[in-house]
Amino acid sequence: MVVLAYRALGWSGVAMAVGALVMWLLLHFTRMLQVLKRAANQPIGTVGSAVMLNAKLRPGMTLLHVVALTRSLGALQSPKDAQPEVYHWTDGSQSHVAAEFSGGKLKKWNLVRPPIPAP
């Protein structure tokens, strides 16, 4: 992008391209900080509703996007720094969602609901 801007507009094009790249980086950094600030105020591995989280999850979502949905960091279930990473979120009714991330992208997830006692 910078090379094309230089060829088209010279040094002023380079300045514009670098400015656009810096702005893009700042926007992503600010979003990441806001998501993590919201998640810092919640217990690890909790979510308001595991069923609603299950409905909103899609393959290919990033871990940051899932943390933004849950407003909580997931409880890591797999060994540290091992692929795939498995995170766990539980709601108040003890339903939980286990999400598997490979390379930072959501590959699969599973909703588990507690058994309903017979009357």
48, with CB counted inside 10 A (0-12, 13-18, 19+), is: middle
Cα–Cα distance between 107 and 119 in angstroms, integer? Answer: 38
Is it true that domain 43-119 has CATH number 3.30.1450.10? yes
Cα–Cα distance between 24 and 97 in angstroms, integer? Answer: 33
What is the chain's pLDDT, residue by residue, as a tens digit (119 residues)?
888 888 888 888 889 888 999 999 999 999 999 999 989 888 999 998 999 999 999 999 999 999 999 999 989 999 988 899 999 999 988 899 999 999 889 999 999 998 887 77
Each domain of the chain, given as residue ranges in start order, spans 1-41, 43-119
What is the CB neighbour count within 10 angstroms for residue 38?
14
Residue 31: what pLDDT? Answer: 93
